[in-house]
Chains A and B, each alone.
Chain A
Amino acid sequence: METSTIDYLVTAATEKLKSFQDRLSYLKLVRFPTANPNKLIQLFSRISELLEKKLTTYREKFQVSRKDESKHSIVREVKLLVLLIKTLGARLRYIEGASIERTPWSMVHAVQELAQGLLNDTVLIIRPQWHYNYGGVDVIEEWRLDLNQEADIREIFDRVEWDAIHEGLARRFYILSFPGLERDNVLLHVSLGHEIGHLLLSGFLDQEESLFGKRIRTKIEQLDPEQEKKIDSKYETAADRIKRAFQIRRRALEEIAADCFAISIFGPAALLALHEFALFARSMDKVSEATDWYPPWRTRLRYALRHLDWPTWYTCFGTIASDSKWTDGRINSGITILNVLNVHISTLEQLASETDDQTEIQKDPLTEIAYDSLDESLERGKNDLDSQVDQSRKFLSTKERCVEIFALLERLHYKIPPNEVLIAKPIGSDLDLAGRTRTPATLASIFNAGWFHRVAYLPSIFSFDRSKTYFEELDILNRLVLKGIEMSDLQREYAPYSSTRN
C-alpha cells in the first residue's frame, strides 16, 4: 500500500515526540537540589502525551479535507507543531543543567524560596548556561494568550486539555540562568535578583507603551530634517521608527527597573555585582542594535546608585561599625571595612557622574526619544516593584540589615559561616547560653557581608605576597558564604520542628 504524504509527516513528527519522551525518562534519574525540575518534567510529559493525540487528529483532518489549500494549512500546522516540540526539546537543557553537579546547590533552595515568596504560583529553576550572562525565561510563556489573562493555549489545546496538563502544578515555570563559568563565584549570583525583577515587570512595561505611545509618535513626526538624516535608512516608515523607539525604551526600562529591584532586595551587594559585570563591557556608554539596545552601563550604574541611596546606608553603618572590633588579621574593626567600602562606592559614583552615555544617546534621534521620558516611567516602575517587595514582608529595614550585616562580617573575619546572628529580643528561635536568640541570617545580609568582606579583605591580587594566597582566601570566602546560605536556609526551613524540642 502506498504511504501518503501526511502519513510520512505524522510518523516523523511522532518519532520526534518519542525522542522527547525518552529524554524526559532519562532526566527523571538525574539528582537535583530541589524537586522543582521534576515538576517541569511532569509538565512536559503531560504536554507530549497530548501532542501525540493532536498529531493523529491532524492526520484524520487531512484525510477528509476537500481542498488543497486546507491540506497545505494542515501540513503547515503539523510542521509548526514539530517546531514546538523541537523548542520544548531544546528547553530540556534547563532541566539537565539544574543538576546538583552543575549548580551551586547550597544556595539553590534559598534563592528559590526567596523568589517563590515574591511570585505567586511560580516554580523556579536555577541552571548554568555556557553563554556568559545571567538570564531568565518563562518556560510556558508561549502557552499563555496574554500575561494578564488566565493560562491558555487555545490554538493548540482547549481549556479542558490545558487544565488537565496543569492540574496540581504551578502556573508559571521560570528558569534563572547564570554563567556556567561563575558557578562557584557565589557573590556574583546576587545578579539573580535582577532576573527575578524581570518577572515582576511585564505588566508595568505593557502599561508604559500605552501611556507614552502618543508622546513618542508625536516626537518622531516632529523630527527636523537634520535629525532625519541621522536615522538609519532601514527605519524608513513611521511604523518602523515607532516600533524601534518602543523597543529601545522597553529594553532600557526593563533593565534599569530590574537593577533597581535587585537593589531593593539585596542592597549594596546588588550594586557591587552590577559593577563587576560592567567592568568588562565593550563600552560603558554605547546603546546600539549590536548590543540588543541594552542601556549603557554608565546609565545603569547611575540609576542603581540613585536607587540605593548610599549616604543613608553609610550613616546607618556608621552607627554600628564602631562597635565592631576584632582581634587578629589585617582588619580589626568595622570602621575600617566601612571606610574601604565608602571609597569603593565613591569610585562608582565618580564613574556614574560622567555623562558620556548621555552624549551617545543624543547621537541617535530614536534613542534620544526613547530615553526622553525614562525618569518619569522609572519612578512609577520602581514604586510598583517596591510595593510588591513591601507586600511580601520578607525584608528587613535598613537599620536591621546594617546590624545583621556587621554581625555576619564578624563571623567571616573569624572564618565562621555567616549563617546566623545573635540578637537580644526573642523572635521564636532557640535561646543561647547568654540569653540572646539565634536567628538565621537573611540571604540579602549574607550576600552583603560576603561582598563587604571581599571589598575590604581582597581588594586585589597585588595586595598579597602571592596571587595564590588571594585565590585561596577567595575560595574560603565563597565556601563560607555558600555554607552560610545553606545553613541559614535549613535553620529557617526546620525551625517549626526545632521549636518543639524540650
Chain B
Amino acid sequence: MSATMKEPSSKTFRYGFLTSRTARLLYEHSIGQQLDEEEQQLVARAEQFVEQILNGEEFVSGEKENIAPGSDALNVLGYGRAALKVMPEPKNGDFKHALTDIRKTLAAIRSHNKNEYPTPEQIEQAAKFFDRIADAFFDEAVASSHPISAGRT
C-alpha cells in the first residue's frame, strides 16, 4: 500500500518553471527597468526559493533550530549547492554569502531600489544561478518520466 507513483513530481515542474522564468527575466533585464506586477510576483517567489535554500543551509549548519517543511528545504539546498559549484568565476567560496548576494539582487530589482541597484555582473550572476538550477530540474523531469520497466524505450 503506497502513496507514491513514479512520475515527475509536482515540485520538479513548479521549481523548473519558476527558475527558468526567473533566469529569462534576469537575462532580459535592463538596468533601472521597472517590473510589471506579474514580474514582481515572479521575482518575489524566486526570493522565497533562495530563502528556502538558505534555510536548509542554516539548519544543516546548526544556525537554525528547525525548518518547515524540512525535506523540501533540504532538496532545494542540494540544487543550490550544485548550481553554485559550477558558476563561472565565483566571487568567493562562501556558499551562504553568494546566496545572500543573489537574494539582495532580486530584492533590489523587485523594489526598484535605485540606491542599492545591482551591477550588470551581479544580475548576470543571479541569472546564471537560476539557469543552472532550471537545467537541473529539467534533467530531473526528463529522467523521472522515463519508463522504469524493461523493454524498448
Contact = CB atoms under 8 A, between A and B. Distances in A.
Interface of A: 65-67, 69-70, 72-74, 76-77, 79-80, 83-84, 86-87, 90, 133-137, 141-145, 154-156, 158, 191, 194-195, 198, 206-207, 209-211, 213-214, 217, 221, 237-239, 242-243, 246-247, 250, 254-255, 258, 277, 292, 294
B103 interface: no
B29 to A, nearest CB: 10
Nearest to B60: A239
Given A209-B69, A210-B66, A239-B77, 12 more contacts: A67-B27, A76-B20, A135-B3, A136-B2, A142-B9, A145-B14, A207-B68, A213-B66, A214-B65, A217-B60, A238-B60, A246-B74
Given A77-B21, A154-B45, A243-B74, A191 B1 contact: yes
* Interface class of chain B by DSSP: helix
A387 B27 CA distance: 51
Given A83-B142, A191-B1, A207-B68, A90 B7 contact: yes
Contacts of B98: none
Contacts of A142: 9-11, 13-14
Contacts of A156: 13, 17
Interface string B46-76: 0000000000100110100111111100110
B111 interface: no
Nearest to A79: B138
Given A195-B1, A239-B78, A87 B8 contact: yes
A80 B17 contact: yes
Nearest to B134: A76
CB-CB nearest 4 A-B residue pairs: A142-B10, A210-B68, A155-B17, A209-B70
A254 B138 CA distance: 29
A210 B24 contact: no
Contacts of B23: 69, 73
Contacts of B38: 158
B107 to A, nearest CB: 19
* Interface class of chain A by DSSP: helix
A213 B59 contact: yes
A155 B15 CA distance: 8
Nearest to B16: A80
A65 B24 CA distance: 9
B145 interface: yes
A473 B141 CA distance: 49
B5 interface: yes
B33 interface: no
A224 B27 CA distance: 48
Nearest to A211: B66
Given A83-B145, A239-B78, A258 B1 contact: yes
Given A86-B145, A246-B71, A247-B71, A74 B24 contact: yes
A351 to B, nearest CB: 18
Contacts of B145: 83, 86-87
A141 B3 CA distance: 13
Contact of B1 (A66, A135, A209, A242): A135
Interface of B: 1-5, 7-11, 13-14, 16-18, 20-21, 23-24, 27-28, 38, 41, 45, 56, 59-60, 62, 65-71, 74-75, 77-78, 127, 131, 134-135, 138, 141-142, 145
A105 B48 CA distance: 46
A274 B7 CA distance: 26
B27 A144 contact: no
A209 B13 contact: no
Contacts of A209: 67-71
A46 to B, nearest CB: 18
Contact of B7 (A65, A67, A87): A87
Nearest to B124: A69
A347 B150 CA distance: 40
A95 to B, nearest CB: 15
27 contacts: A65-B28, A67-B28, A70-B24, A70-B27, A73-B134, A76-B20, A77-B17, A80-B16, A80-B141, A87-B145, A135-B2, A141-B10, A155-B13, A198-B3, A210-B69, A213-B65, A213-B66, A213-B67, A237-B60, A239-B77, A242-B60, A242-B74, A243-B71, A250-B71, A254-B3, A258-B3, A294-B2
Contacts of B131: 69, 72-73
Given A80-B138, A155-B14, A239-B77, A133 B71 contact: no
Contacts of B16: 80
Given A209-B69, A210-B67, A254-B3, A243 B138 contact: no
A74 B27 CA distance: 12
Contact of A277 (B1, B17, B45): B1
B140 to A, nearest CB: 10
Given A67-B28, A69-B127, A239-B78, A76 B13 contact: no
B110 to A, nearest CB: 16
A292 B41 CA distance: 37
Contacts of B142: 83
A86 B145 CA distance: 8
Contacts of A65: 28
A135 B4 CA distance: 7
